A and B are shown apart, each in its own frame.
Chain A
């Protein structure tokens, strides 16, 4: 198992009496692509800034390998950052931007030249040496920012929502590219985003955060398929989250219907959150299921239809994704296979999107 390259121990930060990070503990393995994911105001950027040295925690320790680096200023840390708005130096051309760190470290001209060429190749910007940064597109500026950071051979690269300002198509391209660069260099990437799809497609490990507290750490498949609480389930993709009661192991009741599931270890008649992904719901004739509802809207989404279903007694409408469209106003039955019913302990916090801090 790989060594931890970054460890955060009991990090707390508050600002104006508001808690940003609350006794956060996080170990990041060397050579992995780790994403800090959460809604704005969840503390993910603050966590990144603490690792980068731009912000001091009120309490707690930051370790780089085995060394405590709390008091080490950013310019002495073996990590580099790709900033949200690139922060390229407007008075320098592409070549000199990438060379900036090496110039500080007084590298020879030959060394600088070779490294800049290597970096430009890595980010597919050969021939852009003499260009002014202001003449580059957003995507190209982003690549320069990545090259500039990587030119210093950091052990860890921090990326603060680097794709946020790009359009969708470019963002997808850059996601693939970032992942390629990371696996090629084999260094640790710590990536901050609020975009769950971005996190799922690039990361080895996702750290889901809310209100300064880590909600779940796991691989993308774990996070998606086995969310630990309602917040994670809701934030990672769309979900139907309803109240349920565990009658016994593998036996749950919700919305007036009783289903077999695969979860065990809950107390008898414990109140739980039941999470069902919209794509896991199978539409059946209404006679075939106790879980019934009326279709209120149907939207074509390309790959599938998205339908909202009003289930009697439920405050929120159910969301279903299916390749077969139903008629609006039709009463349908719904069923779910046992392994697609996720039972979680009741989550008492608020859900994603309920508020926008920051």
Chain B
């Protein structure tokens, strides 16, 4: 196409080695049996693992919902704050992210344990103890805690670009704060919301660390199943690859649906 498209060649090499070839291998494993013959059996095995897949999708969706519920108002407040306040809030938001992901999740284990810090404090008040660790709630909490910044940042970056004159114009035309939020801010922030949802939903659905640490093994997600099929006691690469492929297709479909929704609503949302 363009003359200087060759500058993309290092990236092209990278993509071929680390994306195209591995993806081809996943496909190859998914559609062959142990002897290397072509088969659909691996894909059809999804029925066996359906509950894990369903749980993953539901919990990913719930976690995404809570991230949106917490993140959207915060992104709005941040985007309208003074520059100094914006910087401070950004700092506070990013600070925990600089700590290791595993460490953060381990910390929640000790907090949520039956005789952990939270139950201990509640006990002082005469409440509890509550069984929190190794529940679905704990996993969702872990997802929300770890992935919340990925919801806030894209929404914030879109909202921050909404020029203050649009708020004044809406106000001038008779809109109060709520009407301005509904008719101006929300539609304009939609591209950020779509990105945020994707960025939280995808890692939530495919996580296995959070479910393992906070779910205690009896709340397996599809990610845990795939992990076991590859590194567990009885590995089966073919079924593992098939499950990965199914999960990937499901995620791609959900992203395409979201994108469609976004396009239908607005195309120039990022522009002022």
Name A residues whose Cβ lies closer than 8 Å to a Cβ of B.
52, 54, 73-75, 80-81, 83-85, 87-91, 100-101, 103-105, 132, 134, 148-149, 152
Residues of A within 8 A of B175 (CB): 75, 100, 104
| Complex Cα gap A104–B174 (Å) | 7
The answer to whether the Cβ of B172 comes within 8 Å of any Cβ in the partner chain is yes
Q: What is the minimal beta-carbon distance from A214 to any residue of chain B, in angstroms?
A: 25
Task: Choose from A73, A81, A91 the contact partner of B169 (Cβ within 8 Å).
Answer: A81
The answer to whether the Cβ of B271 comes within 8 Å of any Cβ in the partner chain is yes
Asked if B188 and A100 make an inter-chain contact with CB atoms under 8 angstroms apart, the answer reads: no
Chain B 73-91 interface 0/1 with A at a Cβ cutoff of 8 Å (1 = within): 0000000000000000000
Residues of B within 8 A of A84 (CB): 165
Asked if B172 and A52 make an inter-chain contact with CB atoms under 8 angstroms apart, the answer reads: yes
Q: Which of B173, B188, B271 has the most CB of A within 10 A?
A: B173
The answer to whether the Cβ of B163 comes within 8 Å of any Cβ in the partner chain is yes
The answer to whether the Cβ of B176 comes within 8 Å of any Cβ in the partner chain is yes
Asked if B171 and A73 make an inter-chain contact with CB atoms under 8 angstroms apart, the answer reads: yes
Asked if B269 and A87 make an inter-chain contact with CB atoms under 8 angstroms apart, the answer reads: no
Asked if A91 and B174 make an inter-chain contact with CB atoms under 8 angstroms apart, the answer reads: no
Task: Choose from B172, B179, B268 the contact partner of A81 (Cβ within 8 Å).
Answer: B172
Task: Choose from A54, A73, A90, A104 the contact partner of B173 (Cβ within 8 Å).
Answer: A104
Asked if A87 and B166 make an inter-chain contact with CB atoms under 8 angstroms apart, the answer reads: yes
Contact sample, A vs B, 26 pairs, CB 8 Å cutoff: A52-B172, A54-B168, A54-B171, A54-B172, A74-B168, A75-B172, A75-B174, A80-B173, A81-B172, A83-B168, A85-B165, A87-B166, A89-B169, A89-B184, A89-B188, A90-B268, A90-B272, A91-B187, A100-B170, A100-B175, A101-B174, A104-B174, A134-B268, A134-B271, A152-B173, A152-B174
| Complex Cα gap A91–B168 (Å) | 16
Residues of A within 8 A of B263 (CB): none
Asked if A91 and B268 make an inter-chain contact with CB atoms under 8 angstroms apart, the answer reads: yes
| Complex Cα gap A140–B272 (Å) | 17
| Complex Cα gap A84–B172 (Å) | 14
| Complex Cα gap A54–B164 (Å) | 12
**How many residues on the B side are at the interface (Cβ–Cβ under 8 A)?**
23
Chain B 123-135 interface 0/1 with A at a Cβ cutoff of 8 Å (1 = within): 0000000000000
Asked if B171 and A90 make an inter-chain contact with CB atoms under 8 angstroms apart, the answer reads: no
Asked if A87 and B176 make an inter-chain contact with CB atoms under 8 angstroms apart, the answer reads: no
Residues of B within 8 A of A75 (CB): 171-176
CB closest residue in chain A, given B187 = A91
CB closest residue in chain A, given B175 = A104
Q: What is the minimal beta-carbon distance from A97 to any residue of chain B, in angstroms?
A: 9
Residues of B within 8 A of A52 (CB): 172
Residues of B within 8 A of A104 (CB): 173-175, 179, 183
Asked if A91 and B172 make an inter-chain contact with CB atoms under 8 angstroms apart, the answer reads: no
| Complex Cα gap A90–B187 (Å) | 10
| Complex Cα gap A104–B165 (Å) | 18
Given A75-B176, A89-B166, A90-B272, the answer on whether A100 and B183 have CB atoms closer than 8 Å is yes
| Complex Cα gap A103–B188 (Å) | 18
- Residues of B158-194 contacting chain A, CB below 8 A: 163, 165-166, 168-176, 179, 183-184, 187-188
Given A74-B168, A89-B184, A90-B188, the answer on whether A148 and B269 have CB atoms closer than 8 Å is no
Q: What is the minimal beta-carbon distance from A119 to any residue of chain B, in angstroms?
A: 13
Asked if A101 and B173 make an inter-chain contact with CB atoms under 8 angstroms apart, the answer reads: yes
The answer to whether the Cβ of B266 comes within 8 Å of any Cβ in the partner chain is yes
Q: What is the minimal beta-carbon distance from A79 to any residue of chain B, in angstroms?
A: 8
CB closest residue in chain A, given B265 = A91
CB closest residue in chain B, given A80 = B172
| Complex Cα gap A134–B176 (Å) | 25
| Complex Cα gap A80–B172 (Å) | 6
| Complex Cα gap A233–B268 (Å) | 47
Closest 4 interchain pairs by CB? A101-B173, A87-B165, A87-B169, A104-B174
Asked if A100 and B268 make an inter-chain contact with CB atoms under 8 angstroms apart, the answer reads: no
| Complex Cα gap A152–B265 (Å) | 26
| Complex Cα gap A90–B172 (Å) | 17
Task: Choose from B170, B174, B271 the contact partner of A90 (Cβ within 8 Å).
Answer: B271
- Residues of B30-79 contacting chain A, CB below 8 A: none
CB closest residue in chain A, given B163 = A87
Residues of B within 8 A of A85 (CB): 163, 165
| Complex Cα gap A5–B176 (Å) | 24
- Residues of B217-272 contacting chain A, CB below 8 A: 265-266, 268-269, 271-272
Asked if B165 and A83 make an inter-chain contact with CB atoms under 8 angstroms apart, the answer reads: yes
| Complex Cα gap A149–B272 (Å) | 19
CB closest residue in chain B, given A158 = B172
Beyond A73-B176, A132-B268: 5 further Cβ-contacts under 8 Å? Answer: A74-B171, A85-B163, A87-B166, A89-B170, A90-B269
Asked if A91 and B165 make an inter-chain contact with CB atoms under 8 angstroms apart, the answer reads: no
Asked if B173 and A100 make an inter-chain contact with CB atoms under 8 angstroms apart, the answer reads: yes
Residues of A within 8 A of B187 (CB): 91
Asked if A83 and B268 make an inter-chain contact with CB atoms under 8 angstroms apart, the answer reads: no
Residues of A within 8 A of B176 (CB): 73, 75
Residues of A within 8 A of B173 (CB): 75, 80, 100-101, 104, 148-149, 152
Q: What is the minimal beta-carbon distance from A281 to any residue of chain B, in angstroms?
A: 45
CB closest residue in chain A, given B270 = A90
Residues of B within 8 A of A90 (CB): 188, 268-269, 271-272
Q: What is the minimal beta-carbon distance from A95 to any residue of chain B, in angstroms?
A: 15
